Amino acid sequence: MAANLKWAPVLALVVVVAAMVGTTSAGNIAVYWGQNGNEGSLADACNSGLYAYVNIAFLTTFGNGQTPVLNLAGHCDPGSGSCTGQSSDIQTCQSLGIKVLLSIGGASGSYGLSSTDDANSVADYLWDNFLGGSGSSRPLGAAVLDGIDFDIENGQSAHYDDLANALKGKGSVLLTAAPQCPYPDASLGPALQTGQFDNVWIQFYNNPGCAYANGDDTNLVNAWNTWTSSITAGSFYLGVPASPQAAGSGYIDPGTLTGTVIPAIRGIGNYGGIMVWDRFNDVQNNYSSQVKGSV
Tens digit of each residue's pLDDT, the chain (295 residues): 333 434 344 334 433 333 333 334 569 999 999 999 999 999 999 999 999 999 999 999 999 999 999 999 999 999 899 999 999 999 999 999 999 999 999 999 999 999 999 999 999 999 999 999 988 899 999 999 999 999 999 989 999 999 999 999 999 999 999 999 999 999 999 999 999 999 999 999 999 999 999 999 999 999 999 999 999 999 999 999 999 999 999 999 999 999 999 999 999 999 999 999 999 999 999 999 999 999 9
Cis bond before residue 278 (omega within 30° of 0): yes
Q: How far is CA 123 from CA 55, 116, 170, 266, in A?
A: 18, 10, 9, 34
The conformation of residue 84, written as its DSSP 8-state character, comes to: G
Q: What is the rounded distance in angstroms from the CA atom of residue 14 to the CA atom of residue 132?
A: 45
Amino acid letter for position 182: P
Q: What is the rounded distance in angstroms from the CA atom of residue 112 to the CA atom of residue 241?
A: 26
Q: What is the rounded distance in angstroms from the CA atom of residue 229 to the CA atom of residue 232?
A: 8
Q: What is the rounded distance in angstroms from the CA atom of residue 66 to the CA atom of residue 114?
A: 11
Contact 178, 151 (CB under 8 A): yes
* 153 annotated active-site: yes
Kindly name the residue from 89, 118, 153, 278 that is annotated as catalytic. 153
Contact 145, 70 (CB under 8 A): no
Name the phi and psi angles at 182, rounded to 5. Answer: -60, 130
Q: Please report the pLDDT score of residue 82 as a whole number.
A: 96
pTM, two decimal places: 0.91
Q: Please report the pLDDT score of residue 136 as a whole number.
A: 85
The conformation of residue 66, written as its DSSP 8-state character, comes to: P
Total residues belonging to the chain: 295
DSSP string, 8-51: HHHHHHHHHHHHHHHHTT--EEEEEESS-TTS--HHHHHHTT--
Helix (H, G, I), strand (E, B) or coil at 150: strand
Q: Does domain 28-294 have CATH number 3.20.20.80?
A: yes
Pairing of strands 271-277, 199-203: unpaired
For residue 232, count other CB atoms closer than 10 A to its CB.
13
